[in-house]
Amino acid sequence: MKKFILVLNLGSTTTKVALFRDLNCHIVKTYSHDKELISQGINEQKTVRYGTIIKFLHECEVSPEEISIVAARGGLLHPVEGGTYLINDDMLNDLSSGKYGDHASNLSGILAAEFAGNYNIEAVITDPVVVDELCMQAQYTGIKNVRRTSIFHALNQKAVARKYALSVDKNYEDLNLIVIHMGGGITVGAHHLGRVIDVNNGLNGDGPMSPTRAGSLPVNGLLKYIEEHELSHQDINKLISKQGGLLSHLNTEDVRDIVSDINDGDTTVQKYLKQWHFRLAKKSVLKQLCCTVRSTRLFLPAASATVIM
């Protein structure tokens, strides 16, 4: 008998898997992956990540035949508005080919489709990272024909925004919010009446630095670094999205290790963490100033995100 919805959320450093009965979470687990795995391309990670999903079901003593549908985080594909979409062949081509970018979130849809195909059920994605609801003003830059693109943690941001709306007995579509996702990447979004009208590109070098991403950089300094180290386009993407941030400064992206070092009296580590906090706070304040959003309350939900109303 089919009982459960299997939910997959694959991030840059973790695989999060959950079982739901209707809207009720039955169980959820997060599996952290070692540096050797997450440094590989997504195709090289598929077998291990799929095995993690099967391991989860085994630990929960749930048979795959008990799953009625697979719901997954979306990845880098053709830009869409927020919502839930059936996974089809065109979507899988975008995710597997890396046409719009290569990121672990692509595996959510790929592995959801593989699992669904194996057990003859449907697979969907919700609020993929390429949700694009940017207002026109947020797209412009200082160079003609260079536009900002929307790549962010839409799934978590919209979920937490809706959770906050429920907590104050409001509809998400009636609120103006600033939402901050904090994980392997960090994004700060301005949510206006149910649409994310402005957000930093959390993958390709925009916004605050994160545990593994460089964030916004001084252009001349970056150009000089590229020339001195003779970096290819692929090298630069890897540096910005996988080898930057706290990892570049402290040789670790695990904030738990960093906090432990600070508690042991490491003042150098503490200095870099304070710089990270400064950049994050600066981005949040600027987002508030530039958007029609009033800052009146701070909401801290049980998720890796913060909502500022």
197 shares its domain with 281: yes
- CA nearest to 197, candidates 101, 81, 62, 28: 81
Residue 25 pLDDT = 94
- CA nearest to 32, candidates 194, 214, 285, 253: 253
- Reply yes or no on whether the pLDDT at 33 is more than 60: yes
> In this structure, is residue 50 part of a structural domain?
yes
Q: With contact defined as beta carbons under 8 Å apart, do 57 and 64 qualify?
A: yes
User: What is the CA 111 to chain-centroid distance, rounded?
Assistant: 17
Query: Taking all residues of the chain, what is their mean pLDDT, rounded to a whole number?
Result: 86
Q: With contact defined as beta carbons under 8 Å apart, do 208 and 183 qualify?
A: no
The range of the structural domain enclosing residue 12 comes to: 4-126
Query: Of 126, 158, 185, which residue sits at a domain end?
Result: 126
**Residues 54-101 pLDDT 10s:** 999 999 999 999 999 999 988 899 999 999 999 999 999 999 998 888
Residue 101 pLDDT = 83
Residue 15 pLDDT = 93
Statement: the pTM of the whole predicted model exceeds 0.85? no
Q: Region 107-133: what's the mean pLDDT?
A: 95
Residue 84 pLDDT = 95
- CA nearest to 87, candidates 112, 104, 66: 112
Q: With contact defined as beta carbons under 8 Å apart, do 125 and 189 qualify?
A: no
105 shares its domain with 161: no
42 shares its domain with 83: yes
Residue 263 pLDDT = 84
Q: With contact defined as beta carbons under 8 Å apart, do 193 and 133 qualify?
A: no
87 shares its domain with 212: no
Number of structural domains (the chain) is 2
pLDDT winner (highest mean) among 21-30, 182-191, 211-220: 21-30
215 shares its domain with 161: yes
158 shares its domain with 300: yes
Q: How far is CA 243 from CA 175, 181, 196, 200, 272, in A?
A: 36, 19, 28, 19, 16
- Reply yes or no on whether the pLDDT at 307 is more than 60: no
Residue 297 pLDDT = 40
Residue 271 pLDDT = 76
> In this structure, is residue 257 part of a structural domain?
yes
Q: What is the CATH number of the domain that holds 180?
A: 3.30.420.40
Query: Of 67, 98, 126, which residue sits at a domain end?
Result: 126
Query: Of 126, 145, 166, which residue sits at a domain end?
Result: 126
206 shares its domain with 81: no
112 shares its domain with 163: no
**Residues 155-206 pLDDT 10s:** 899 999 999 999 999 999 999 999 999 887 889 999 999 999 999 998 887 8
Q: What backbone torsions phi and psi does residue 197 show, to the nearest 5 degrees?
A: -85, -15
Give the range among 148-157, 189-198, 200-209, 295-304 with minimum mean pLDDT: 295-304
Residue 266 pLDDT = 79
- Reply yes or no on whether the pLDDT at 42 is more than 50: yes
The better pLDDT of the pair 253, 133 is held by: 133
